Amino acid sequence: MSTPDEQVIVVDAANVIGSRPDGWWRDRAGAARRLLLKLATLQQQLPHTTIAVVLEGAARKATEGDPLDLGVLRVVLAPASGDDTITEVTAAYLVPATGLPVTVVTADRGLRARVEPLGATTTGPSWLLTQLDNF
């Protein structure tokens, strides 16, 4: 049986990064790297929460170069479609029927329509960005 604060959060990194017009398009890998570092800090504050972040396209390079200390943050590199990978990751957490709630962070309506029937809940990037603004 899970404790009340146990949960899984699956992050659509491209959608979260793209939700703020802060110049991310000039350096997608750098923007993804900054997001990963903030998520790792959030992960430390939520020890009973599993955070899985999916990187796609140019953002995949965020894990290259200088090593990142991401603790137990799970980084998944999408081999092709980020939405396909997010759906697969979400399904993998739900299939074992652990009883843990799974929340997917995205504003992508198509992706929401894919993960909600699996049993996941969804929330928009603004919720996550509000949490991350505290770090």
The per-residue pLDDT for range 111-127, each reduced to its tens digit, is: 999 999 999 999 999 99
Name the CA radius of gyration of the chain, rounded: 14
Neighbours of 19 (CB within 10 A): 18
Structural domain tally of the chain? 1
Residue 84 lies in a domain: yes
Structure tokens, 72: 């137990």
Percentage, residues of the chain above pLDDT 70: 94
Runs of H (alpha helix) within 1-135: 13-18, 28-45, 82-94, 109-115, 125-132
Amino acid at 111: L
In whole angstroms, what is the distance from residue 19 CA to residue 124 CA? 9
Residue 1 lies in a domain: no
Task: Tell me the Ramachandran region of residue 41: left when phi exceeds 0, alpha when psi lies from -120 to 50, beta otherwise.
Answer: alpha
In whole angstroms, what is the distance from residue 18 CA to residue 21 CA? 7
More confident residue, 96 or 106: 106
In whole angstroms, what is the distance from residue 46 CA to residue 27 CA? 29
Residue 122 lies in a domain: yes
Residue 2 lies in a domain: no
Average pLDDT over residues 81-108: 91
Range of the domain at 74: 7-132
pLDDT at residue 84 greater than cutoff 90: yes
Residue 44 lies in a domain: yes
More confident residue, 47 or 54: 54
In whole angstroms, what is the distance from residue 116 CA to residue 70 CA? 28
What pLDDT does residue 105 have? 98
Nearest to 32 by CA among 4, 3, 73, 91: 73
What band does 93 get if pLDDT is binned at 50, 70 and 90? very high
Residue 87 lies in a domain: yes
Q: Looking at residue 50, which CATH number applies to its domain? A: 3.40.50.1000
